[in-house]
């Protein structure tokens, strides 16, 4: 189900069509597959976000359940919550209407001057490291972080308040520098601000990278180890042919190079990292590998993906690029 500009409806405002949807709390709970329900909610949220960022308009959805009544059934708690994640006061900006077999949401323009944010965003995709977790910052916190990084004096204070060089953690550095490991051998560190430990198979590595690299790069650097049993603190590794590792290393490099970055400095450096595969030995043979990734603290800011924020341009729904999004947010005066 894709979102498109509806050219047929006779409204002065922009109309976005999101396709078919099941409405009503009871009916949505009866949906056997949770994935379509989540997808419907995501599409509705994206359409609302798009219109808020585009001067308002109308969201149109065709009703799947023919016996639906807006007055009797409501829209569904999950949809209400998804709109609440975008707006603190959804009722001030959204008005619902049922028109035969269509459900319409009339969206008022977002007033960024009042609230201090030029564009609304579903997800910033901007991560930092907090204790032993990679945490996505909400929009206000992301903007505050970016403004600190942009100001040389504030940036210097922030960097000084963080721990020293990454190499000062000797245990993690020593483990990273090992040339081989022993199967089922124990290791003496755990997840922390500087370390992420995963048991994932090799085909899941690329999924893990974006938010982990973003978090380490935006905080104080860190190590990602894939192929370690964090619960039992044992080395297991993941199975792979040695010929597969070159391809996997290229995929990791490609993934990291494609992460969106924002620069406020003259150096315009790239993300600095070191990737290696440490062989894990059983008696007499190599049985698996540990992927070890060392990420340096970045000079400015790294996103895991472009922010989830859209607008209508040239009769098309377009996602803001990271560069556009950052500029709009940074240029907005405080509310």
Name, in order, each residue with C-beta under 8 angstroms of 72's C-beta and a sequence gap of 6 or more. Answer: none
54, two tokens: 């585009």
CA 15 to CA 102: how far, in whole Å?
13
208, two tokens: 């893990």
248, two tokens: 């996997």
CA 233 to CA 236: how far, in whole Å?
9
Q: Say what the pLDDT of residue 285 is.
A: 79
Nearest Cα residue to 144 out of 159, 129, 126: 126
CA 241 to CA 234: how far, in whole Å?
22
Residues constituting the chain: 335
Q: Say what the pLDDT of residue 151 is.
A: 86
**CA geometry: angle 158, 168, 255, nearest 5 deg:** 70
CA 64 to CA 195: how far, in whole Å?
47
Q: Say what the pLDDT of residue 167 is.
A: 47
Q: Do residues 271 and 217 lie in contact, with contact meaning Cβ atoms separated by under 8 Å? A: yes
The Cβ of residue 331 has, within 10 Å, a number of other Cβ atoms equal to: 8
Nearest Cα residue to 143 out of 113, 118, 122, 109: 118
Strands (E), the chain: 4-5, 15-21, 57-63, 94-99, 102-107, 127-130, 133-136, 181-182, 195-198, 222-226, 228-229, 234-235, 261-262, 273-282, 285-295, 301-302, 310-313, 316-319
What backbone phi and psi angles, to 5 degrees, belong to 222? 170, 180
CATH code reported for the domain at 127-302: 3.30.950
CA 135 to CA 158: how far, in whole Å?
18
Q: Show pLDDT as tens, one digit a residue, over the chain (335 residues).
A: 489 999 888 888 999 999 999 999 999 999 988 999 999 999 999 999 999 999 999 999 999 998 999 999 999 999 999 999 999 899 999 999 999 999 999 999 998 765 667 899 999 999 999 999 999 999 999 999 999 999 877 777 766 655 544 544 889 999 999 999 999 999 999 999 999 999 988 888 999 999 999 999 999 999 999 999 999 999 999 998 888 999 999 999 999 999 999 999 998 999 999 999 999 998 877 789 999 999 999 999 999 999 999 999 999 999 999 999 999 998 866 55
16, two tokens: 């976005």
Using alpha carbons, list the distances in angstroms from residue 203 to 143, 199, 207, 238. Answer: 34, 12, 8, 10
Please state the pTM of the whole predicted model.
0.92
The overall longest dimension of the chain from CA atoms, in Å, is 75
CA 249 to CA 170: how far, in whole Å?
25
Q: In the chain, what are the domain boundaries?
A: 4-112, 127-302
Beta-sheet pairing, 15-21 with 102-107: unpaired
Q: Say what the pLDDT of residue 166 is.
A: 52
Taking the alpha carbons at both ends of the chain, their separation in whole angstroms is 36
């Amino acid at each position: 189900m894709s979102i498109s500009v509806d050219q047929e409806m006779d409204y002065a405002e922009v109309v976005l069509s999101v396709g078919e949807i099941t409405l009503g709390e009871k009916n949505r709970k009866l949906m056997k597959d949770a994935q379509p329900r989540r997808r419907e909610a995501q599409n509705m949220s994206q359409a609302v976000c798009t219109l808020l960022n585009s001067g308002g308009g109308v969201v149109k959805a065709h009703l799947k359940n023919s016996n639906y009544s807006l007055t009797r059934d409501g829209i569904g708690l999950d949809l209400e919550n998804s709109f609440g994640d975008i707006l603190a006061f959804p009722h001030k900006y959204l008005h619902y209407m049922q028109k035969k077999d269509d459900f319409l949401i009339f969206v008022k323009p977002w007033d960024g001057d009042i609230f201090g944010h030029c564009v609304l965003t579903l997800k910033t995709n901007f991560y930092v490291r907090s204790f032993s977790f990679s945490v996505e910052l909400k929009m206000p916190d992301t903007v505050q972080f970016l403004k600190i990084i942009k100001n040389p004096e504030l940036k210097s204070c922030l960097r000084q308040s963080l721990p020293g060089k990454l190499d000062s953690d000797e245990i993690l550095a020593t483990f990273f520098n090992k040339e081989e490991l022993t199967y089922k051998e124990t290791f003496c560190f755990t997840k922390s601000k500087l370390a992420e430990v995963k048991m994932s198979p090799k085909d899941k590595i690329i999924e893990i990278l974006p938010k982990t690299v973003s978090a380490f790069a935006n905080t104080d650097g860190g190590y990602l180890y894939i192929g370690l049993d964090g619960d039992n603190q044992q080395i297991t590794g993941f199975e792979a042919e040695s010929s597969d590792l070159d391809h996997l290393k290229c995929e990791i490099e490609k993934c990291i190079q494609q992460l969106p970055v924002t620069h406020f400095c003259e150096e315009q450096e790239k993300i600095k990292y070191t990737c290696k595969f440490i062989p894990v030995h059983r008696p007499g043979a190599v049985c698996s590998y540990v992927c070890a990734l060392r990420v340096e603290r970045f000079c400015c800011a790294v996103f895991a993906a472009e922010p989830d924020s859209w607008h209508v341009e040239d009769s098309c729904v377009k996602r803001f690029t990271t560069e556009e999004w950052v500029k709009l947010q940074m240029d907005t005066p405080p509310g």
